[in-house]
């Protein structure tokens, strides 16, 4: 797949999950075979204002490339200025968020709310595309609600406005993350435009990925929540699509090894105080589905140091081995 001049080799991209897909996780997923990553969404207003926490979300590393930074906002002028600033962080692509369903985003004429105002949404895309030499892409939903499925119409307008690729999360904003994704919307968008289309929604396994490719004709799939605590999902997708091979879930000791390496990377970037607090949710995701998971996740929510996390990992392995005997 080519996003303008950017070549992307592979099958699956990592979604821009706020509070989860930080640089440590993006690099980890690439090491397991993710072909493309998108940074956590950043406020255009915050970028233009020079807010340090917002600007930190734009950091990229060579280990996560090719990659996009994602911005959100409802003003074409501010979004364009933010796109220019984003270029200073050397991403490969700038992605516009038109899919976030959170009230604090969509309640301010940004995120998925832009889909309710096609003229403004198109103006945002055109302003960004004209402001930067980097490819500009859009991630959006099927529509605002079941009565307003307008992804196809918007896709055509965005292509004309200069968008280089589109990602379609095949749920409405009203659905949030519930219900099933409607792959027919992705298929319809793919038929309507000549630029690449990335499909998103319900890609939880290698077989799901193959099903999305077959049913939609999309150019790439995007993996979101299913990768949390399971970054090896990208390797499973690649093995299945390339060789028809079904890779099993890693053994518990291997999962814990990956978890510890992941958290170590977070600490290296953010320091132990912040890193350990963020590690609590990641540990819960890695432990999910393991025997005695509920009690172990509660324990993960109380860790205060990397040493405690190591002890928890050893306990998880010990429980798994005891029940395997």
Name the pLDDT band for 320 (thresholds 50, 70, 90).
confident
The domain locations on the chain are: 2-243, 252-324
At a CB cut-off of 8 Å and minimum separation 6, what does 114 contact?
74, 98, 120, 121, 124, 140
| Strand ranges inside the chain, DSSP E | 2-3, 6-7, 12-14, 36-38, 42-43, 67-72, 93-98, 136-143, 165-172, 197-200, 220-223
Please state, in angstroms and rounded to a whole number, the distance separating the CA atoms of residues 208 and 223: 10
**Looking at the domain that runs over 2-243, which CATH code has it been given?**
3.20.20.70
> 232-276, pLDDT tens digit by residue?
999 999 999 999 999 999 999 999 999 999 999 999 999 999 999
Q: What are the pLDDT digits (tens) for 26-56?
A: 999 999 999 999 999 999 999 999 999 999 9
What secondary structure letter does DSSP report for 111?
G
Which band of pLDDT confidence, cut at 50, 70 and 90, is reported for residue 324? Answer: confident
Q: How distant, in Å, are the alpha carbons of 40, 89, 91, 156, 269 from that of 60?
A: 11, 7, 7, 30, 12
Per cent of the chain over pLDDT 90 is: 92
pLDDT at 325 over 70: no
Residue written as token pair 């319900």:
202
What is the residue-averaged pLDDT of the chain? 96
CATH match of 252-324 with 1.10.1200? yes
pLDDT value of residue 153: 98
| 156 is an active site residue | no
d(CA 121, CA 109): 10
pTM for this entry: 0.95
pLDDT in tens, 162-215: 999 999 999 999 998 888 999 999 999 999 999 999 999 999 999 999 999 999
Please answer whether residues 166 and 140 qualify as being in contact, where contact means their C-beta atoms are separated by less than 8 angstroms.
yes
Q: Which among 100, 128, 156, 218 is annotated as catalytic?
A: 100
Rounded average pLDDT over 84-113: 93
pLDDT, tens only, 56-65: 999 999 999 9
Rounded CA separation 71/46 (Å): 10
Cβ atoms 221, 203 nearer than 8 A: yes
């Amino acid at each position: 797949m080519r996003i303008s001049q950017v070549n992307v080799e592979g099958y699956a991209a990592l979604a821009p999950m706020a509070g989860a897909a930080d640089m440590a996780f993006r690099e980890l997923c690439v090491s397991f075979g993710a072909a493309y990553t998108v940074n956590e969404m950043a406020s255009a207003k915050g970028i233009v204002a020079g807010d340090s926490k917002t600007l930190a979300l734009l950091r990229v590393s060579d280990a996560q490339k090719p990659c996009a930074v994602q911005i959100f906002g409802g003003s074409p002028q501010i979004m364009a200025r933010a796109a220019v600033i984003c270029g200073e962080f050397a991403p490969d692509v700038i992605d516009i968020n038109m899919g976030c369903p959170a009230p604090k985003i969509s309640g301010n004429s940004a995120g998925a709310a832009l889909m309710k105002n096609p003229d403004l949404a198109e103006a945002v895309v055109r302003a960004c595309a004209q402001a930067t030499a980097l490819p500009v892409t859009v991630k959006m939903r099927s529509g605002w609600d079941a009565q307003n499925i307008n992804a196809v119409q918007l896709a055509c307008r965005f292509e004309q406005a200069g968008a280089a690729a589109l990602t379609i999360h095949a749920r409405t904003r009203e659905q949030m993350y519930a219900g099933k994704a409607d792959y027919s919307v992705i298929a319809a968008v793919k038929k309507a435009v000549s630029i690449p289309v990335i499909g998103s929604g319900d890609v939880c396994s290698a077989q799901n990925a193959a099903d999305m490719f077959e049913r939609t004709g999309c150019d790439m799939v995007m993996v979101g929540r299913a990768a949390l605590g399971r970054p090896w999902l990208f390797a499973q997708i690649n093995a299945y699509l390339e060789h028809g091979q079904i890779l099993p879930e890693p053994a518990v000791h291997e999962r814990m090894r990956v978890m510890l390496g992941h958290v170590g990377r977070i600490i290296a970037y953010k320091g132990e105080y912040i890193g350990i607090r963020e590690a609590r949710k990641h540990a819960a995701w890695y432990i999910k589905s393991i025997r005695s998971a509920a009690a172990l996740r509660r324990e993960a929510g109380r860790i205060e140091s990397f040493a405690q996390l190591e002890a928890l990992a050893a306990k998880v392995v010990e429980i798994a081995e005891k029940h395997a005997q």
